[in-house]
Amino acid sequence: MHNKKLTEKDLKSLRVFTSVAEVGGFSIAEKKLNMSKASISRHIRDIEEKLGVQLCERGPSGFKLTESGLFVIEKAKTALKALDNIKTEVDERHGILSGTLVIGVIEHILTDPLCHLSATIAQFTQAAPNVKLELSILNHNQLNRALSDRTIQIGIRGQYHENSRYNYQFLFIENHKLYVSANTANNKHNLALVYRPHPFTESILASGEFSRGPEAAGLEAVATFIASGHYVGILPENYASHINFRHSLVEMNDSPVFHNRICAITEASKPLTQSETLFLKLLS
């Protein structure tokens, strides 16, 4: 029967375990934590003994969380985040902005002239110098997952459909169109469509006009396939323009235009912190 309460030492071990799980192994965690593998292993072994379960499998086959490990990691993240937020929330009561603000942004949005993210970061840094900003550039699926897992506080991406779980602050419209290489523009209807998991791609495939081509992870991969001259693909207008100096891509004459509503997305059920409120105000 394992009924021992967790101590302060166990909290440190949970932080070590969480860090290892986030990076997916001991080697990267060594550098992140500035600890030896032996020390990391000892912390994980200690917390396993305290909880009475095996948290992970480690050996020649690599690092893998067990079912118990997956359960514990979610509970540990919630608990550790709550502890970390105590100082932030106390500061907010005294009108001081502190803590960490994590923002996830869809890839290549900086190339859009309507995107004012850099200016917003400059203003926010000046207004809230004690807040640590973290910025992650993610593809469509990664950003959805980060919002769902609460690993980011604000997500900036297109609003493809309404989800009552989130609040959407409209920022600007980004147009997406079909592009081909200038060298194969005359044979465009014989080309397969580069597949990227995305609502616009699914819409084009559903029309039956193009067959499904190779899979691409990210806009740069889509553009690379298009530039080869063997495929057609969907790209944001601003991004296609940006890479045209190197690869001659042309818009299909009869291309549909997809209007992507770029929004700042936050979780509806969670009250905004003062830092989040300020950032969204500056972003609007």
How do residues 144-193 score in pLDDT, each as one tens digit? 888 887 889 999 999 988 888 899 999 999 999 999 998 875 566 678 99
Q: What residues have CB less than 8 Å from 28, skipping those under 6 apart?
A: none
Q: Is 82 part of any domain?
A: no
**Rounded CA separation 22/47 (Å):** 17
What CATH number does the domain containing 38 carry? 1.10.10.10
Domain boundaries, position 113: 100-283
- The pTM assigned to this predicted structure is 0.69
- For 68-103, write each residue's pLDDT tens digit: 888 888 888 878 777 777 777 777 676 767 888 999
Could you tell me the sign of the dihedral formed by the alpha carbons of 197, 153, 163, 111, in that order?
negative
pLDDT of residue 185: 57
Instruction: Please indicate, yes or no, if residue 89 is contained in any of the structural domains.
Output: no
- Residue 13 falls within a domain, yes or no? yes
Number of domains in the chain: 2
Whole-number pLDDT of residue 4: 67
Q: Which helix (H) or strand (E) holds 84?
A: helix 67-93
Of residues 103, 251, 248, 263, the one with CA closest to residue 174: 263
